[in-house]
A and B are shown apart, each in its own frame.
Chain A
Amino acid sequence: MTSSGFGDAAGRPAAPAPVVVSEPAEPALREAVPAEGDFERLRELLLGGERRELAAARARIEELERAQRDLPGRLPDAAVEALRSEHGNPRVAAALSEPVAQALGAAVQTHRQSLVDALFPILGPMIRKSIAEALRSLVANLNGAIESSFTVRGLKWRFEAWRGGVPYAEVVLKHRLAYGIDHVFLIERASGLVLHHASAPGLPPLDADAIAGMLTALGDFVGDSVGGDGSGALESAQVGEDLVWVEHGPRANLACFVHGVPPAQLRTLMEQRLEEVHARLLALPADAPLRSIGDDALVRERLEPSVLLRDTDEATAPVAARKPSRLPLLLIALLAIALLGGFAWQRWRWDARVDALRARLAAHPGFMLTGIDARAWRALTVHGLLDPDAEPLDAVLADAGLGAVVPVLDANGYVCADDAVIARRAARLLAPPASAAIAVHGRVLRLSGTAPQPWIDAALARAPWIAGVARVESTLAPTGDAVADARAEIARIVAELQARHVAFVQDDEPVAGADAVVDELAASLRRIAALAPVARVDVETVAYGSNDDSGGSEANARVRAQRAQWLERALVARGIAGARVADAAEPSDAPNRRGAELRTVVHEAHR
């Protein structure tokens, strides 16, 4: 066994002691080296306490590390629990306030979008609510304006806007946006002391001196802070619907505490009032203190809130202020009355003429009026049924007196059974000689007078077939020398026929009434055709055109041919065939006019 060799009493390590090895060497060596269990015991003896403390510390560290790891999971519950605690709440809130504020600040800088995303669901409803409130207010005002538009008050406002030359909306706003003046302060500019103060009735008392002082101090503060060169001053301050307007004068300031939305005229009125106050200040005796202006009755009266309100309203009502002449209004009214009267008179005149036309058309034989479409002094259309044998309506329509309006006839044909129309129809179809007369009474056709026997025979045979004729009564007597009478009659008819002509406006455009002339020509030709066999003659009819002096010879020849052809076609349309067209040839008498006429040549019949 060797010495322990662990050191001296001072704790210094001892030098290793020589080890004497004898045989057998191996077992001795094994004995000299301490076994593992010995080390442990030595460790336990020397370091046992420290090792236990170390183990406890290690366990504590592990415990803390475990707690640290679990902290994020337990922190929300712990915070909730702490905030719930009656005593812990203020401490926890105070402890969290600073880091939360810092965290929010940092988040605003670094995670702005996240914050926006988070706040959006909150801000959206708030903004919508605010907009909804504003819109509700706007709608209320609009409703008021719309409602007022149809009331006496609304009309009065419109009249006020018209006379004042301002938009209607401005007048509505002026009346709808109520405002009131709560307090009026006249304040000494230098000291801020109250020179005069007036409040609206019903308001609680206030420390006018303190308020005037603070207002002055605020004005000085604003002027000194942002006024720059000293010219700036506090002229207005607004919180919500409460407003302070301050007017500055060289010696005194005028302040009005207003609620609502005052018109700009109040500001102007304040300027005027302050000028009046300064004028009164100048009139004060030299030794009179400035504050004596507050005892001035006129100043007190002029600075009353109710007086300021009244004067502002008058200033915003241009009607009352200007008192414009009523002459323009009167002239406009007279003009309007004259226009209305003129319109009514014109309308009455038109209606009277249309009524007269309606009466004449209704009484016109052979025409059945079904309606009149009329636009006063613009257009008129007559609707109805017209018998071809009726008197033309041209004259009736032309005499209607409708000014520049040309009546339009929209007529369909029909057969009329009026006596007058039947008589015209019978005369057209029978072509009686001048010595014979046709009359119709109660649809009974009466033939009287004298006529050649052949014509009498033909007339009596055809008369019952005439539309509208119920019965035929005849007292006709045959003439003596039928041939001579017929020739004389033909000669007379030819003379009449050749005296007539169809007039043209230009080229082949006939004048109004040309159809009536053609009708007469056709009737004459029928009569001649009826008399020719009795007179034992042949009659040749030639249609000529004629022209006046204007135009060249070629053009006139062409026009003459066109007019002759037009007349021939018109006769054919009326059942008269056989008329020869003379083309460009002129009749022997060659009338100098724009027309077309017939010339007849009578020959002995070749039998």
Chain B
Amino acid sequence: MTPLTHKVCMLGDFGVGKTSLVARYVRSTFSDKYLTTVGVKVDSKEVALPGRDPLKLVLWDIAGRSALDAPSTSYLRGASALLLVADGTRETSLSSALNLLMQSRSTLPDAVAVLAVNKLDLVERWEVAATTLSELRRSLPVFETSALSGAGVEEAFAEIARRLPG
């Protein structure tokens, strides 16, 4: 049976580790050079959840930026979910991720949104306070991830899959 397919867009500031998260999660078909040329790279990953039919996530890794421009907005069309990525060692990247979420709501008012605060392996240098994250968890799922160790990566994507219609 063909699994249901959902488009998931990854948004975040430059250098927060979006591409590394995707690389940790899937085996890419396309080269990263598309990020610098076209501004997006697409991969897919089939997710099996207990008690549910498998889903396929088509991941659109959109080149890092702090605000959405026209091309990035066009890439968001038809997305079912957003994975917002911030760098724990840069508090400004968290602001950028939340800013991108606000901007994308005009295009995707009903899209599932999950926040991944990356670089857990450098937690001792984090600028993002735990209280901030606790506050954020009230409005959207937040995962502390590490593309280096893989911690929290599968969970973040699984959470997206859980929240998507089966």
- Listed in ascending order, the chain A residues whose CB lies under 8 Å from chain B are 188, 190-194, 206-207, 209-211, 213-214, 217-218, 220-221, 223-225, 291, 294
Contact = CB atoms under 8 A, between A and B. Distances in A.
A93 B43 CA distance: 38
Contact of B7 (A193, A211, A221, A224): A193
A210 B29 contact: yes
Nearest to A213: B42
Given A191-B78, A209-B58, A214-B42, A220 B71 contact: yes
How many B residues are at the interface, by size bracket? 20 to 34
B131 interface: no
Nearest to A218: B38
Contact of A220 (B30, B58, B75): B75
B30 A194 contact: no
B56 A214 contact: no
A206 B29 CA distance: 9
Contacts, number: 71
A188 B75 contact: no
Given A209-B44, A209-B56, A220-B74, 18 more contacts: A191-B77, A192-B60, A193-B5, A206-B29, A207-B44, A209-B42, A210-B29, A210-B30, A210-B42, A213-B60, A214-B34, A214-B38, A217-B39, A217-B40, A220-B77, A221-B38, A223-B74, A291-B4
B70 interface: yes
Interface of B: 2, 4-7, 29-30, 34, 38-44, 56, 58, 60, 70-71, 74-75, 77-80
Nearest to B74: A220
Given A192-B58, A207-B29, A224-B74, A213 B38 contact: no
B5 A209 contact: yes
Contacts of A223: 74
A210 B43 contact: yes
B60 A217 contact: yes
Contacts of A207: 29, 43-44
B42 A221 contact: no
A64 to B, nearest CB: 47
A213 B58 contact: yes
5 contacts: A192-B7, A217-B39, A217-B40, A217-B42, A217-B60
A217 B5 contact: no
B147 to A, nearest CB: 20
A223 B60 CA distance: 18
Nearest to B38: A221
B78 A221 contact: no
A213 B78 contact: no
A552 to B, nearest CB: 109
A213 B7 contact: yes
Contacts of A220: 71, 74-75, 77
B2 A213 contact: no
A192 B77 CA distance: 9
B58 to A, nearest CB: 5
Contacts of B78: 188, 190-193
A455 B75 CA distance: 137
A192 B9 CA distance: 12
Nearest to B60: A213
A211 B29 CA distance: 8
B34 A291 contact: no
Contacts of B80: 191
3 smallest beta-carbon distances between A and B, as pairs: A191-B78, A213-B42, A190-B78
Contacts of B34: 214, 217
B5 A190 contact: no
B71 A214 contact: no
Q: By CB atoms of chain A within 10 A, which of B4, B70, B74 has the most? A: B74
A219 B122 CA distance: 39
Q: By CB atoms of chain B within 10 A, which of A190, A214, A218 has the most? A: A214
B163 to A, nearest CB: 17
Contacts of A221: 38-40, 71
Nearest to B40: A217
Nearest to A195: B5
